[in-house]
Each structure stands twice: as C-alpha cells, then as structure tokens.
Structure 1
Amino acid sequence: MTDVTHMTAVEISAPGGPEVLQSVQRPVPQPGDGAVLIRVAAAGVNRPDILQRMGLYPPPAGASDLPGLEVAGEVVALGAGVEESWLGRKVCALMAGGGYADYAVADAGLCLPVPDALSMIEAAALPETFFTVWTNVFEDGRLNPGERLLVHGGTSGIGTTAIELAHAFGAEVVTTAGSDDKCQTLKDMGVAAAFNYKSDDWEKLITEAGGVDVVLDMVGGDYVAKNLNCLKTGGRHVSIAFLGGLTAQINIMQIMRGRLTVTGSTLRARDPDEKARIASVLKDKVWPLLNAGKIKPVIDSTFPLAQANQAHALMEASSHIGKIVLTTES
C-alpha cells in the first residue's frame, strides 16, 4: 500500500463555469474489493466532465464526486481479491469519476495495459473515447468493412477516435466540423469528405453522394431528422450526446420504409460487468493496433491538473482538435 495519505485533487465547488473547479487536498482513496489504486500520471478531459461541472450530469451512486472518467498511471495498491502481480503495472483505466486527482481508484476489470507505442498522456486519452466508439459504432451501429460512417464533430476526441477506428477496420468516413481549417485537417486524416456545418448543406451533399450506412451523432435536436435522410436502406443511427437539443421530430414511416435502426447509449451508468466485457473486447481487437502504432489518439493539448479550469474553457470553446489531457506531478 502507498504510504501517502493526502493528494491534490480538483473538485467542483458549486455548479457553474470553469472557475468553479478548485484544487484541494483530500485523503488518498482506498481500493475496495476487486479494485486498484492508481498513481495518476495523466487524466483525460471529456464532455461529460463539463456537464457534471454544470450540475447536469451527476455521478452514479457510489462513484467519486470528483470529475474525471479516464486516467493512466501506475498501480500502487490493491483491493481484496486482486492478484499481487497487478502492483507496478502501467495501466489506463475507465472509471465513473475521480480522475482529476493524483490518485484514483478503478475496477481492475476496467484497466487496460498502457500500449507499447504510447506515452502516459496518450494512454490517458484512450478509455472513454475508445469504449464509447467501439460500443456505439461497431456493436450498436454494426459498422462493417466497406460501409460508410458519418461522424458529426469530427475533430472532437470522439470524432478523431471514430475516424481512426473506422479506417482501421475497413470503413469509409464522412464528417462535419465547424470551420474550413478543421475540415482540411479531417481530410488530411483521410476522410472521404468533410463538410463545414456552418456553411455547407451537408445533408444534401451526403444524400446526393449516395448516403451513409451508420451515423454517429453527438448533436441531437434537428440533426436527427437530417441524419435519417442521409441513411441508406437498413442504415443505423446512433446517438451519444445532445449538444443541439434533447428532443427531435422524426418521421416514423421513414424509419419503417427504410428499415432504419435508431438507437443510442451512455457509458458511465453501464453495469461494471458490461464495461469489463467491453474492456476485454478492446484488448483483443483494438489494443494490438495501438501496440503496433497503427492507430493512436490525437492529442490537442495538455494542462497541469491545477489548470483544469483552463482545459474546460478550451473544450467549451470547441477550438481543439482531438483530446485534452491533464497531467500530474507524478
């Protein structure tokens, strides 16, 4: 067990803007049954962290009140039932909260080895986006080689991950972004087409080009009906966020006539056993690609843990490309 008793953490002092994130000293958490304590080297920043800070996305019962859904670091203490061989392992982990700290607890089943070709910073950018993309695009969306995927918000952490994984498994990608420069960056990443949603009629252009098989939608609102218009017969629409609104008006006959599937999910509230299953699938199907350096997360920027408020402000400005990561002194 670690002999450190207290740690630096970033807590949400009250619901609000980035300024409510405050550095504090807290006791080091202790791992329960089947869990490990990780000395955090880096922690990913994600949209759910923003929502939690605003008071719109409370942590599940029993989870840490600290934000932070993914970390990378070294295992330094073990809960009951975890083999001694875990001590000293370099891992990245998915968690329901607690990542914005020097130490964090994670279920051993949700820890994956830091890929050989990646740094700790890069590894910290993996769990939340790779779990999310795999389950929504490849499992629920059933994307197959040779099919075409539409990704909204292509330069986000989720977007860049979806693009890389789709390409790695033989699919084509079209995407949207908020500027011509971002669209050019996405074209440089190999997408078949990138549309500026502020100036291009992406719905018309995609439909005229033959449509898509799967849509990964982070916008919601009036995008849903437009997305359905872009789907080929038998297409699948997967919602994972609602930045443009929680409600949508759609044509049910269109869904029936086109044999379309409309689905969606969240990751944080899933059962730990289900998350462990996803981790096992990723280790088998995706980690070999990461170990070989064939894919890697796109990192936009890093901030010291104490500057988490600046990291949140950057994410809310939507000027980043890829992942934003916090680093600790450890």
Structure 2
Amino acid sequence: MRLRGTRPTRRGLQVACDTAARLRPCGQSGLQGSVADLVPGPGRLLIDVRAAGVQVAESALFRGESFGWHQPSALPHVPGSEVAGDVIAVGSGVEEIWVGRRVVASLEGGGGYAELAVADAGAAHPVPDGLGYAVAVAMLTTGASALGVLPVAALTPDGTVFVMSAAGGMCALFVQAALRVGAKVVGAAGEEKTRLVSGLGADTVVDTPPTGGPKACAARSVSASSSTASGGFSRPPNGDGPIAVRTRCPCGRCGA
C-alpha cells in the first residue's frame, strides 16, 4: 500500500507521507504507520524501497534483546539496515545521474522497512542489470563479509573444505567459492536444509542434529578451535588436512 501524495523525481521534492513498519512499545497497537516528509539531505539519496534485508541481529532486536554490540533502539522505531530499490531524489552535492538508478544501500540507524528510505550516497552501490532486488540486498552485508574472510582460507584445487551451517547466508557463499576453485566440499546442515546444500554442489552433505542439543554442539565444535561472531576459517596446527569453515554455534550456550 502506498500513501504518498507526491512521487519525487528530482532534487528537493518533498514526499507527503510514507508507509513503514514501526516497532512500538507494548500496549500501542498497529505495526504499520506513516512517516512524513522524507527529504534527502546533503550527500544523501531518497530510495523507493523494493526489498529490505533481514539480519540475524535485527531478529533479536525485534524482541527487545541485544545482539553483540547491537542494542535495541528507542521505540517507536522503523527497523531495517539494508535496502535495494530505485533512487527517486537526491540531496545537494549528489549528481543528478543517480536519479533512476537501481541501487543497494546500507542505512545508519534503521529505516529500511518502509516504502521510502534515505541513505548516504557513499553507502549506495549500483545493482547490475539482471540482478533482482532481493538477491542484491541479501548480498550487501553477507557477501561483503564472505569476501573479507575468503582470502584467509587460501583455497586450492587440491583442498578439502568442511563447512558448518552450510545452508546459511555466508556459509552458502563459502561452499560456492570453494567449489569454484575446484576444492572438495563437505557441508553440514540440519535435515531440512541438506537439500539446499546438495543443490549448491557440495561433494558430501552431513545431516546435523537439531540446533541446541548436545550432539549439535559437539558436531559444530569439531570444525575449528576458534571462530568469530560472523564466521571464519581455521587450519590444523600442522597445516595439513581439511580447512574448516564455521560460524558461532547457534545454541548460544556452549560458546562454540
């Protein structure tokens, strides 16, 4: 549903109102609300949102819980830190050539779960022709994180890579990256996700027990001796054997 009285197409044109998903304090009804007068300031873009990303951290923030260094925002709040869509207006200092471009962008302070969003021009990236909005926004943070981790692995055609949580966003990219260089891939995932991992092309797929059980924690702990919150690679101490790729154990209790 669109509640805009005016559709902006050039610099400085105001929007009458914009529909957004707003988190409200308990006792206040309604998830959908209106945000008035979205205007791109200097160096910023106004984006007609076609797809918004959903991060693991945001799912915790929705419940009013902290996630790592992320803390819940004061309510009411429009969540959403990633969007893809069309630029429909620009602020001062931004070239008019941006208007009409398909872009993906990171947002500071949320605001992505709305029909319109404002982003810094420096945080926006053109979306290639043929790439859908949903795929583009899904790749924004996950893809960048994966690209940051992959050089550490130094993948080779004669290597074997063991990927935990292989159906997840980053780890699905790890599976594909390892296969692209010719390495053998063993992917572990829950029963309902093994078909996805097989579809990615993994040479072997391991069905792990349900998340949170002792066996699940044990299965994840064999892959590496250290990890980061966003995932990482590790090698055996002597440098031989398979490379392990893992993310933090989702049970949240064992510390793996």
Identify which of 8, 16, 41 aligns with 1:5.
16
Structure 1 residue aligned with 2:166: 154
Task: Give 1:239 shift.
Answer: 7.1
Q: CA deviation at 1:205?
A: 11
The 1:6/1:45 distance shift into structure 2, 3 A limit, reads same
5 Å matches for 1:5-154? 5-14=16-25, 22-57=31-66, 58=70, 65-96=77-108, 97-135=110-148, 137-139=149-151, 141-146=152-157, 147-154=159-166
Per-residue displacement from partner, 1:248-296 (whole Å, max 9, x unpaired)? Answer: 38xxxxxxxxxxxxxxxxxxxxxxxxxxxxxxxxxxxxxxxxxxxxxxx
Deviations along 1:213-252, one digit per CA (max 9) or x if unpaired, are 9978769xxxx9xx97xx4235988876563226638xxx
Aligned position for 1:182: 193
- Which residue number corresponds to residue 232 of structure 1? 236
% same residue? 29
| Preserved CA contact (<8 Å) 1:213 1:236 | no
Q: Residue in 2 aligned with 1:192?
A: 203
TM-score by length of 2: 0.71
**Aligned Cα RMSD in Å?**
4.0
Q: C-alpha displacement at 1:170, in angstroms?
A: 4.8
Q: CA deviation at 1:150?
A: 3.5
Q: Distance in 2 between matches of 1:194 and 1:167?
A: 14
Aligned residue pair count? 230
Q: Which amino acid aligns with 1:108?
A: A
Q: After the TM superposition, which residues 317-328 of structure 1 pair with which residues of structure 2 at under 5 Å, given as runs?
A: none
- Quick one: distance in 1 between partners of 2:179 and 2:30? 37
Contact 1:143-1:213 within 8 A present in 2 as well: no
Write the letter of the residue equivalent to 1:112.
H
Contact residue 218 and residue 242 of structure 1 kept, 8 A: no
What amino acid does structure 2 have at the position aligned with 1:134?
Answer: L
Take 2:166 and 2:188, find their aligned partners in 1: how far apart are those partners? 6
**Alpha-carbon distance between aligned partners in 2 of 1:212 and 1:33, rounded to the nearest angstrom:** 47
Which letter does structure 2 place at the counterpart of 1:91? Answer: V
Q: Which residue pairs with 2:3 in the alignment?
A: none
1:149/1:216 contact within 8 Å kept: no
Question: Residues 205 and 53 from structure 1, CA distance in 2 versus in 1: closer, same or farther, beyond 3 angstroms?
Answer: closer
How far residue 83 of structure 1 moved from its aligned partner, in angstroms, is: 1.8
Which 4+ residue blocks in structure 1 deviate beyond 4 angstroms?
58-61, 169-172, 199-207, 211-219, 234-242
Secondary structure of 2:53's aligned partner: strand
Amino acid at match of 1:25: S
Contact 1:9–1:26 (CA under 8 A) maintained in structure 2? yes
**Higher gyration radius (CA):** 2
Seen in structure 2, the aligned counterparts of structure 1 residues 201 and 30 have a Cα distance that, compared at 3 Å, is closer
In structure 1, give the amino acid aligned to 2:144: F
- The answer to whether the aligner puts 1:248 opposite 2:252 as a matched pair is no
Cα pair distance change 1:177/1:37, threshold 3 Å? same
Separation of aligned partners in 2, 1:110 and 1:169: 30
- Asked if the contact 2:198/2:205 (under 8 Å) is kept, the reply is yes
Letter in 1 for 2:15: V
Select the structure with the greater relative contact order (CA < 8 A; seq sep ≥ 6).
1
Shift of 1:119: 1.9
Closer, same or farther in 2 for the Cα pair 1:190/1:33, shift >3 Å? same
**What's the counterpart of residue 294 of structure 1?**
none
Matches within 5 A, 1:179-328: 179=191, 181-198=192-209, 231-233=235-237, 234=239, 241=248, 243-245=250-252, 248=255
Which one has a larger percent helix, Structure 1 or Structure 2?
Answer: 1
Report the CA distance between 1:156 and its aligned residue: 2.6
Q: Distance in 2 between matches of 1:174 and 1:184?
A: 13
